Amino acid sequence: MTEKIDTKKKLQTRETLIEDMRSIGIEKGMTLIVHSSLSSIGWVSGGAVNVILALMEAVTEEGTLVMPTQTPMLSDPYEWNDPPVPEEWHARLKADMPGYHPDYSPSSGMGIIPETFRTFQSVRRSSHPAVSFAAWGKNKDFFMEDHPYDFALGESSPLGKLYKSGAYVLLLGVEFDSNTSFHLAEYRITYQDKINTSHPIIENGETIWKAREDLEFREELFEELGAAFEKEEDVGFGKIGSAHIRLFKMEDSVDFAVRWFKQKDKKANKKQQKRRQ
């Protein structure tokens, strides 16, 4: 049975989305990193394309729009846990996996808005095979160029550049566990475990596997961190379509996260010391 559109709900068009974006403080010339859920916005005329066009019109070409376009599936099958694959498949899967290419490697787990965004001809995507970003607007080349292979979300990454450029974060129908910016704080604290991993990349027309080093991230803490952040810092709330949003300065969120991580780790260390006594 075909599901009918609820005509009692407001029709979401590009124009109404722009009006909503203006009302929550998205302005011409703004640098904005967006994390999004299309389904949370409600039924939108033109779908993801009109959401993207509305964002572009809201910040204009004087601003810059950035979205994460990560490719976690381009990794060693031995590391896959969701779901795991049979061990006897590992070697074959690894040998068969295509190398990352910014033009055609699809993002995974990011949602349809960033996956559509990366295909726009005017959008540039960064070169990282696991944690790429895509950008449009005035400073897209600056943010996307020279994405470091190791420690890929640190000071020299697109996140580090966005922080220094006064960027804002828009959580569009998603929660703080989607806030990639919190990762930048993890590079600024003393305690953090490191991992070694590898990804398929294309060199001289051939796919090779290249090892890299990075931090072991703690995304499982981001919801708790976000709840503390919005209680103590300046966070804008509102709606775009039917989606609840949060809009805040990236600098504020990262600086708060550094303090929060340090305090949490300090408490954890004290507990460990007491247990040893």
pLDDT of residue 192: 77
**Residues 206-232: tens digit of each pLDDT:** 999 999 999 999 999 999 999 999 999
DSSP classification of residue 148: -
Cα separation, 136 vs 37, whole angstroms: 19
- pLDDT band, residue 144 (cuts 50/70/90): very high
Cα separation, 199 vs 55, whole angstroms: 32
Q: What is the mean pLDDT of the segment spanning 14-27?
A: 97
Please tell me the pTM assigned to this model: 0.92
Are residues 151 and 215 in contact, defined by beta-carbon separation less than 8 angstroms? yes
Q: Which residue has the tokens 């204009």?
A: 60
Are residues 173 and 258 in contact, defined by beta-carbon separation less than 8 angstroms? no
Mean residue pLDDT across the chain = 93
**CB-CB neighbours of 109 under 10 Å:** 13
Q: What is the mean pLDDT of the segment spanning 135-142?
A: 98
- Helix or strand holding residue 230 (H, E): helix 222-232
